[in-house]
Structure 1
Amino acid sequence: MNSKIKQLLALTLVFSFVFGSLFSFSQTASAAPALDIKAEGAILVDAETGKILYQKNADALLAPASMSKMMTEYLLLEAIDKDKISWDQKTSISEYAHKISQNRSLSNVPLRVDEKYTVRELYQSMAIYSANGSTIALAELLAGSEGEFVKKMNAKAKEFGMKDYKFVNSTGLNNKDLFGNHSTGSETDENMMSPRATAILAFRLLQDHPEVLETASIPRMKFRKGSDDEIQMENWNWMLPELNSGYKGVDGLKTGSTDLAGNCFTGTIKQGDTRLISVVMNTDSRLARFKETKKLFDYGFANFEKEKILPANYQIKGNKTVPVVKGKDKEVNVATKEPLSMVIKRGEKENYKPKFVVDKKKLTKDGELTAPIKKGETVGHIKIEYKGKGDDYGYLLDGDKEGKTEVVTTKSVEKANWFVLALRGVGSFFGGIWSGTVDMIKGLF
């Protein structure tokens, strides 16, 4: 074998190895990785729409521990928005709140019965350090007693459309830790929520009160700085970028831990124009809850992307017009009011198909709009349906943001005058007679 043939064979072997390796790599890279979340329950959702990207035992009723405080935060921020209380308002501390605050085996800042504290101070210690005494003090301020506040918590959960939940106190502690001060449930009851319900709570908190992140994202703060009661608070959310399990973009939201709950975490992260919400419940350790959350965030950003699915003024083939009765025009063009963007699976844009859903309340029994019609009048919506082969978990709740956009009329249609309507009526009458006559004649032959 001469040297040229040897060189050619060698080059062939090299190219085969290189291209074979590249092909093998590309095949592996394109496949979505298996997601093994070591938690009793978990869920990952798009914070803008509530689209569920992953779930595990999403409806299992589990103990959320201090993640319950997200509901206390919501009710507090709602009360401030409605001017029922203010940030600088001061409140006294009850014997109950004081006694809980002195228990350093729980997460707490020390409170005094002979001092008054601002709402802001108590809120910061609750949101950053999960202070239980502060939470009870806020509950008493907002409702007169923790028992009455718990009623508000359950009522708000029902309003949100949460299905799997039960609140028995404001903190998420087991009732046995409340020194006999529990007013709801048994002595050993604890708050319960499913991962889905917890995600709904976080979703509504971020949608309605995004200012919660201004405090939730603070890594460290001194409580009552410069006083005898000064205490360094380090945020229990160690995934904040400045802390020891830091992850870029994490800015909330709430941890939880009890014997029944294990270690839990509701996290939120924003990268680019995408915000995600995650929930992991009953993990093995404080660090494990962040490790499992990292898996969820990695999975979310690696396998999903925000895409514009439909532009504004989009028309579906076959549904570009809607018939009109009693109008100068016999039909009207319809199109999407706004563009629609969604978080979708990477590389699968073609598997998300638009479907026109007409608002039947706007139509006659014959499927017509009745003039007069205004430009921009809503006649239905376009919903995006996933036609791919993978799992599609739907949305947290039925609502206006479920991968859909309104369809509206693109122009006005005035009502026809009586003369035009009369002519149409005559035309319809004689048209009916003519059709009947033709049918009769056809029958003779």
Structure 2
Amino acid sequence: MTTIIKRLFIYTLLIFFILPMITGVKTASAASNDPLNLEAEAAILIDAETGKVLYEKNADKRLGVASMSKMMTEYLVLESIADGKIKWDQKVLISEFIHKLSSPNLGLSTVGLTEGEEYTVKELYESMAIHSANASTVALAELVAGSEENFVKMMNEKAEELGLENYYFVNSTGLNNSDMLGRHPAGTDENEENLMSARDTAKLAYHLLKDYPEVLEIASKPELNFRGTVYKNFNWMLPGLIYEYKGVDGLKTGSTNFAGYGFTATAILDGQRYISVVMKTPSQAARFTDTRNILNYAKGNFGKTEVVTENKAIKGNESLAVDKGKENSVKVAPKNSLDLVIKNGEEENYKAKVVIDKEKLNENGELTAPVKKGDVVGYVTYEYTGEGEDLGFLYKDKPIKVDLVATEDVEKANWFVLMFRSIGDFLVGLWDGITSTVAGWFS
């Protein structure tokens, strides 16, 4: 009995004293692995031009995304305008439901839309993009798709089309469905919220800026004047606001009890545009201080480097053999330059890598004449040769590359030349055979 009591005592010590110490060590270790010591549960920093990932923390963890999911609504609205399906000056009649959803009494972001009143698409879009107005967002969703239910289907379909992987859209706003006054989209649970990973949120922002750069004309406005009432942009890092950061001109904030506070920022720093995402920070202030730390990191540690130079041959891959041509080879070079945003001091660790299109070659590894100047014969990408970690790109299965092309014409040789070349090759082969045989006699 005494032995049993002793063992129980030892186990108690393990549980109450030793295990917390081990857990504490693990927690401290995990925190130390984040060089920026962010409060955000997940984050990412990318080069907005190429999608090169420069920093990440739990970037593939699916979390509540809140109103940052409005970037998808913005994308689909801008796409509908570009396709001519709706117009900026088109009038939208406000229904009873939209009016109720815009009531200040709900405690949601709103500009107060009046039932029976008409507002232009641009007015609704600006209130959504600048002040994150939820009722305006639903009104636009209904306009584009006929119902918010249909719009949610469009959101998920577009997410798949854009190559997002860890996402789940249940409404157009990013609210919890329980805030939708019992009118959440059919087929979704009344307590669900939109979910995305930091990487997918960055992908969405990346495509939004690439496909519709005009998005920044509105997102960059520090305040909204909506029919005589002024509303501040929730992006407090814009000029004149309390966390102003030089270079920031977008893009979207978001917060719910479930998602915490998130922020997708974009900024031009020293001529280079970056996109950053922070998710599930504990406070309004934290999402901006975390973003400031990420942008400081970008500004102080990275620069653009030309890894591949346009029309400059890659050493060791200056030419390719050509069969049946007037010349036996053709010079090749990159069609365009390839620039990468690289961490300072790492420039020498990024080398050009040539990949030849084997389908263009015969069984002897040669091109077949004729070859025209500009013919694509492969591509040039890069390889990292350093000891650190290269985080790759947003789309890991799509390496950045530029075409490798012929820089001159090689015409096909005429039959007479080809005949004598064949005879010459035969005689050379015959001579090689004879000399090998004779050499064998004396070996």
**Which residue of 2 is the match for residue 254 of structure 1?**
252
**Which residue of 1 is the match for residue 15 of structure 2?**
none
Q: Secondary structure at the match of 2:63?
A: coil
Q: Secondary structure at the match of 1:333?
A: strand
Q: How does 1:305-344 map to 2 (within 5 A)?
A: 305-344=303-342
**Which residue of 2 is the match for residue 355 of structure 1?**
353
Q: Report the Cα offset of residue 159 of structure 1.
A: 1.0
**Which residue of 2 is the match for residue 199 of structure 1?**
202
Q: Report the Cα offset of residue 438 of structure 1.
A: 4.1
TM-score by length of 2: 0.88
Q: How does 1:266-415 map to 2 (within 5 A)?
A: 266-398=264-396, 402-415=399-412
What amino acid sits opposite 1:311 in the alignment? T
Bigger mean CA deviation after superposition, 365-374 or 328-337: 365-374
Deviations along 1:314-353, one digit per CA (max 9) or x if unpaired, are: 2222110011122211111111222222211112221211
- In the alignment, the residues of structure 1 paired with residue 420 and residue 96 of structure 2 have an alpha-carbon distance, to the nearest angstrom, of 84
- In the alignment, the residues of structure 2 paired with residue 189 and residue 431 of structure 1 have an alpha-carbon distance, to the nearest angstrom, of 78
**Which residue of 1 is the match for residue 38 of structure 2?**
37
Q: Report the Cα offset of residue 89 of structure 1.
A: 1.0
Q: How does 1:32-431 map to 2 (within 5 A)?
A: 34-103=35-104, 104-182=106-184, 183-225=186-228, 231-398=229-396, 402-431=399-428
- In the alignment, the residues of structure 2 paired with residue 366 and residue 214 of structure 1 have an alpha-carbon distance, to the nearest angstrom, of 56
- In the alignment, the residues of structure 1 paired with residue 164 and residue 170 of structure 2 have an alpha-carbon distance, to the nearest angstrom, of 16
CA contact (8 A) 1:169 1:184 kept: no
What amino acid sits opposite 2:425 in the alignment? S
- In the alignment, the residues of structure 1 paired with residue 187 and residue 438 of structure 2 have an alpha-carbon distance, to the nearest angstrom, of 82
Q: Report the Cα offset of residue 441 of structure 1.
A: 4.4
- In the alignment, the residues of structure 2 paired with residue 172 and residue 294 of structure 1 have an alpha-carbon distance, to the nearest angstrom, of 24
What amino acid sits opposite 1:145 in the alignment? S
What amino acid sits opposite 1:283 in the alignment? T
**Which residue of 1 is the match for residue 28 of structure 2?**
none
- In the alignment, the residues of structure 2 paired with residue 368 and residue 62 of structure 1 have an alpha-carbon distance, to the nearest angstrom, of 52
Q: Structure 1 residues 69, 324: closer, same or farther in 2, change over 3 A?
A: same
Q: Secondary structure at the match of 2:238?
A: coil
What amino acid sits opposite 2:200 in the alignment? A
Q: Report the Cα offset of residue 77 of structure 1.
A: 1.0
- In the alignment, the residues of structure 1 paired with residue 365 and residue 103 of structure 2 have an alpha-carbon distance, to the nearest angstrom, of 68
**Which residue of 1 is the match for residue 16 of structure 2?**
none
Give aligned-pair identity as a percent: 56
What amino acid sits opposite 2:45 in the alignment? L
Bigger mean CA deviation after superposition, 296-305 or 421-430: 421-430
CA contact (8 A) 1:50 1:203 kept: yes
Deviations along 1:229-251, one digit per CA (max 9) or x if unpaired, are: xx322100001021011000000
- In the alignment, the residues of structure 2 paired with residue 391 and residue 134 of structure 1 have an alpha-carbon distance, to the nearest angstrom, of 44
- In the alignment, the residues of structure 2 paired with residue 362 and residue 75 of structure 1 have an alpha-carbon distance, to the nearest angstrom, of 40
What amino acid sits opposite 2:304 in the alignment? K
What amino acid sits opposite 1:415 in the alignment? K
What amino acid sits opposite 1:394 in the alignment? G
Q: Structure 1 residues 256, 184: closer, same or farther in 2, change over 3 A?
A: farther
Bigger mean CA deviation after superposition, 107-116 or 423-432: 423-432
Q: Structure 1 residues 77, 322: closer, same or farther in 2, change over 3 A?
A: same
- Between the two proteins, the alignment pairs up a number of residues equal to 407
Q: Report the Cα offset of residue 286 of structure 1.
A: 0.8
What amino acid sits opposite 1:95 in the alignment? E
What amino acid sits opposite 2:317 in the alignment? N
- In the alignment, the residues of structure 2 paired with residue 338 and residue 405 of structure 1 have an alpha-carbon distance, to the nearest angstrom, of 6
Q: Report the Cα offset of residue 398 of structure 1.
A: 4.6
Q: Report the Cα offset of residue 272 of structure 1.
A: 2.7
TM-score by length of 1: 0.87
Ranges in structure 2 where 5+ consecutive residues have no aligned partner:
1-33
Ranges in structure 1 where 5+ consecutive residues have no aligned partner:
1-32, 226-230
